[in-house]
């Protein structure tokens, strides 16, 4: 090697000086040659290597990507300065970093799911077995009377399936349009009596029937959905209960009692007809489509990256013609329509 002594001395001096400095690399990729004084929990204290007689400088670790020490060791700081982001419908709410009091609201490009949400529901409907009878009490007269009465007061359970669309951009108020398919079953009794005459003979007509009804309803609901706290919703809905299919049957007797005329009438003949499982129309039994209020409370939650919900609803049917309480679960199948 053809180095003279002064050049060799200069080379060794610069090399030693280079390896005595620390290199601080910020998160914006800028580099600073420093002399580290102290490494704290959340910050670093240093002096500029080119001005070591100057003041101490403190920098937060969240602004530092890594440090290369003078001995060649590299330390990476994994403190993220990325704010926590929570999506609320059409907006990203950026939560502040600890120690930072600023909160920003960033608008994102709207998508279909911001305006329309879709869910399906599966539930159980509970109703009284006496709920399907008409409560129709015809006006009695001096020659006839009839009445409908509940034959039992037990509770019955049936399935409910349906779906709903939620419309609106606001995360706090949505318009609901839903369709449910449900079945209502019930039992009630019917009795009537009348008196007629034929050629001086009085005839007492008596009817006693027991009705069993199974009515399938298409339940169309509409109204508003209000968000209260977190994901708890209140839905004051109007329900249109459309009788889609009916199976109403009765069993019982028709009795005719023949009563003689004269000053001392007496029953001289009784005729009875028996009926078993005879089918009648829903209109004859007084079961028709109705409109009612059906308030609903629901709560949505996330489960294994899926959005589910639970709900409970009550139908305030007119004259108790179709009252029910319904509970079940909802599922949002399409991510873009949540």
What percentage of residues in the chain have a pLDDT greater than 70? Answer: 73
The lowest-confidence range among 172-181, 267-276, 280-289 is 280-289
User: Does residue 136 have a pLDDT over 70?
Assistant: no
How many Cβ atoms from other residues are within 10 Å of residue 239's Cβ? 25
Kindly report the pTM of this predicted structure: 0.56
Q: What is the mean pLDDT of residues 253-261?
A: 87
pLDDT of residue 198: 72
Q: What is the CATH architecture assignment of 5-76?
A: Roll (2.30)
Report d(CA 54, CA 48) in Å as an integer.
7
Report d(CA 203, CA 194) in Å as an integer.
8
C-beta separation of 128 from 322 below 8 A: no
Which residue did the predictor score with more confidence, 190 or 112?
A: 190
Which residue did the predictor score with more confidence, 7 or 21?
A: 21
Interval 180-232: pLDDT, tens: 998 888 888 888 888 877 777 788 889 999 888 888 888 899 999 999 988 89
3-state secondary structure of 39: strand
The lowest-confidence range among 45-54, 98-107, 123-132, 244-253 is 98-107
The residue extents of the domains of the chain are: 5-76, 82-110, 115-337
């Amino acid at each position: 090697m053809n180095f003279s002594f002064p050049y060799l001395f200069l080379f060794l001096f610069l090399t030693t000086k280079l390896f005595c400095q620390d290199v601080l690399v910020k998160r914006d990729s800028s580099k600073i040659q420093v002399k580290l004084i102290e490494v704290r929990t959340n910050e670093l204290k240093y002096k500029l290597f080119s001005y070591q007689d100057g003041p101490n400088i403190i920098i937060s670790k969240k602004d530092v990507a890594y440090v290369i020490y003078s001995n060649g060791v590299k330390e990476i700081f994994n403190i993220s300065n990325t704010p926590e982001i929570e999506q609320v419908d059409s907006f990203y709410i950026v939560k502040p970093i600890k120690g930072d009091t600023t909160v920003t609201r960033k608008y994102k490009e709207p998508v279909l799911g911001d305006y329309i949400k879709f869910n399906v529901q599966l539930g159980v409907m509970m109703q009284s077995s006496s709920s399907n009878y008409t409560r129709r009490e015809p006006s009695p007269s001096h020659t006839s009377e009839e009445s409908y009465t509940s034959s039992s007061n037990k509770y019955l359970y049936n399935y409910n399936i349906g779906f709903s669309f939620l419309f609106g951009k606001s995360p706090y108020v949505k318009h609901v349009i839903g369709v449910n398919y449900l079945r209502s079953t019930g039992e009630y009794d019917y009795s009537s009596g009348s008196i007629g005459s034929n050629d001086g003979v009085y005839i007492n007509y008596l009817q006693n029937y027991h009705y069993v009804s199974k009515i399938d309803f298409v339940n169309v609901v509409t109204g508003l959905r209000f968000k209260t706290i977190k994901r708890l919703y209140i839905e004051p809905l109007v329900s249109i209960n459309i009788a889609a299919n009916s199976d109403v049957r009765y069993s019982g007797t028709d009795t005719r009692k023949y009563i003689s005329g004269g000053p001392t009438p007496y029953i001289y003949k009784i005729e009875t007809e028996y009926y078993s499982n005879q089918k009648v129309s829903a209109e004859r039994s007084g079961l028709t489509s109705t409109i009612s209020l059906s308030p609903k409370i629901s709560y949505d939650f996330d489960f294994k990256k899926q959005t589910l919900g639970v709900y409970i609803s009550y139908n305030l049917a007119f004259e108790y013609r179709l009252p029910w309480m319904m509970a079940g679960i909802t599922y949002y199948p399409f991510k873009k329509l949540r």
